[in-house]
Amino acid sequence: MNVHTHPDSPSEPRDATRLFRIEDIRRGALVGIAALALLLPPHHRTPLQGPAVASAASGQPPRLPDLGSAAASDDTRLLAHWVVETGDNAGMAFVVIDKKAAQLYLFDAAARLSASTPVLLGSAQGDDTVPGIGLRPIEDVRPEERTTPAGRFLGIRGRNHTGEDVVWVDHEAAVSMHRVRTTQPRERRLERLASNSVADKRISYGCINVPAAFFDAHIAPTFATRRAVIYVLPEQKSLPQVFGAHPRLMAADHPPASASHAGLPGVPRPL
């Protein structure tokens, strides 16, 4: 993580902005779409708990996320379903980062999985950042403070203090998504990325380290012309604690006995 004072700043405000869209269908005719923007810090957001994207009035079944054959965790699948049901991504592409698995999943605006990759994350367990940490010199960040925060963030392309292009996740806390760096050979970051051990992937100061080829092929184009939503799953808190008490997310805390997991087709049992 680039934990430094920030002479640079994003070209747009860094506070997350959520666009709520309400469709009112009366007598079979669409009479209007209203948009409301909320400006709140991303880790304090109360997520939308409105109707599913596909309204029952349309007579069409609700749209589902498409994860293909990806071996994603139950939490990742639940979060993706919640995004689609609530329209929380507001028509934008979105990224889901599963800290427990050290995996990143990139979805297009239609909630189709575009690509996935292992990532390196903060070396310390935890879902919150220390207030003011983004203004402190990196040498002053204690080991227990090197966390990757959980939450909903509106990612934006920008540059860090060295001029490197990154995607800011939480600019105030100096948390970004960037290409993995190999400037410290003793850290063996490329070797850690290739490891099957999740523990090996906990090495950063909190930033999300992405393989350089993946960043160039997928992350950079996604954020090139517009923002995209970044969801970082918690590792200590529950999904409802971080994203809100939506029934879909509550299934993560109270899974049913059947393998269907709250009616999600094809969701495997926890491994």
Determine which one of 178, 218, 246, 261 is catalytic: 178
Q: How far apart are CA 21 and CA 218, in angstroms?
A: 27
Amino acid at 242: V
The DSSP secondary structure of 18-67, one letter per residue, reads EEEEEEEEETTEEEEEEEEEEE--GGG--------SS-GGGTPPPP--B-
Residue with tokens 């939490």: 75
Using CB atoms within 10 Å of the CB of residue 52, give its burial: 0 to 12 exposed, 13 to 18 middle, 19+ buried. middle
H/E segment holding residue 2: none
DSSP H/E element including 85: helix 74-86
Question: φ, ψ for residue 96 (rounded to 5)?
Answer: -115, 125
Verify whether residue 178 is a known catalytic residue. yes
- Whether the CB-CB separation of 195 and 201 falls below 8 Å is answered with yes
How is 165-220 classified by DSSP, letter by letter?
Answer: EEEEEEGGGTEEEEE---S-GGG-HHHHHH-S-SGGGEEESS-EEE-HHHIIIIIH
Active-site hit among 6, 207, 218, 246: 207
Beta bridge partners of 157: 167
The catalytic site residues sit at 178, 207
